[in-house]
Amino acid sequence: MPMPMLSVNRLCHPNLVLLLCTVLLSACSANSENSQNAYHLPQFNQALIHSTSAENVPEIASLTYLSEIQRQELAGFTARDNIKALPNRLKVSEFINHKMTNFNYEGKNYTSTESWSNQSGNCMALALLTYSVAKELNVYPVFQVVHAAPILTNITSDILVTSDHVRTFLYDEKPSGHFLSGGIATVIDYFPDRFDRTGEIVSESKFLAMFYRNLAADAMLEKQYEFAFILLEQGLKLAPDYDALINMMAITHRRLGDEQTAEKLYLYALDIKPNSLAVLSNYRLLLELQSRTAEAKKIDQYLLSLESSNPYSYYSLGIEALEFKDYKTTVIFLEKFIDNAPYFHPAYFALARAQLGLGNTKKAQKILKKAIELTDIPDSKKHYLAKLDMLK
């Protein structure tokens, strides 16, 4: 079965973003969130929902809630002699660093109070906790999405998990005009990496909507599509023009058997963000499943012509093309990816498979040798060596 790709923030490795649902910063101004968009979000097919999963969906207010005991602990920390004279933004930073001392970076999507109590969580959990502490201390947070190299990318079932995370800028006063272009800010980046690529600035509402995206991605990995539907619906109350959520909602409708609404959602998402690789790729998949080959080929050509602000999305497209045995397209996308991430050995292995599919045995051997050279994981090296031996 062809695989749609899902990308969400989990442990800062999987913002499972769906069939490339990716996330977001430009060098400066806050995105208007398409607030002037003249289009209207298509109605969801509520008849698809038969379960009572809604009771397990966290309320929006609960995401950033801190208990009275937690607020008292924070007040006690900020009253310390070495802390109380600091600007509030630095108090937030010092407190988060304090909390991270024995923090267990497991990939769970905890709310602020849960990550505080459990001393664990993923990147999104830490970002939520930072947000809550900032609000408690009257500090203004600005969020920037960072596209992370798919170091922990994994394929589970028919969903490809990719990665990104959130960087937080803390201001003592609300920035005027362009973000990141002036003023004094403290930056909190939980899992920085030299291969990170900055994305766009997101609003607070979209930042909170990302949490529901993560939860929905987890549900989709477990094939709990009705639960994913309800989670996405909650997220879209916060950010109705968030293309990643709309993309995932379209996939959810398709998985639940409503291809007509799925197509309406894809087209709406493309009205908002015409060059979204994630949406285009998922829409193409729908067309292929409906044997609308000519329309799917038009999207193929358009995808090949696009340059993405998130080069890691090319890996997802390459893997999808490989699943379809479209080896020429696989080569194009994976070579684009490798140009931006030349260290990522699984991409070389996938590229070698594509070259082999095209009958280019010598090229496949050369690429496999590069994969072997790059990996220091014994199992991967053993696997690649075995494949290379088979080609000799």
State pLDDT tens for residues 181-204.
556 888 887 766 666 667 788 899
Map out the domains of the chain with their CATH numbers.
Answer: 5-307 (1.25.40.10), 311-392 (1.25.40.10)
pLDDT at site 145: 85
pLDDT at site 308: 75
State pLDDT tens for residues 12-54.
433 333 232 222 222 223 333 443 445 689 999 999 998 766 6
Unique residue bearing structure tokens 């790729």: 281
pLDDT at site 22: 24
CA atoms within 13 A on the CB side of 341: 24
Best CA proximity match to 222, nearest among 45, 56, 350, 105: 56
pLDDT at site 150: 56
Q: Are 199 and 121 in contact (CB under 8 A)?
A: no
DSSP string for 133-163: HHHHTT-EEEEEEEEPP-TT-EEETTEEE--
Answer left, alpha or beta for residue 163, where phi above 0 means left and psi between -120 and 50 means alpha. Answer: beta
pLDDT at site 93: 93
pLDDT at site 158: 57
Q: How many helices (H) and strands (E) does the chain have?
A: 16, 8
pLDDT at site 303: 86
Give pLDDT < 70 ranges for the chain: 1-39, 52-54, 148-164, 177-183, 191-197, 309
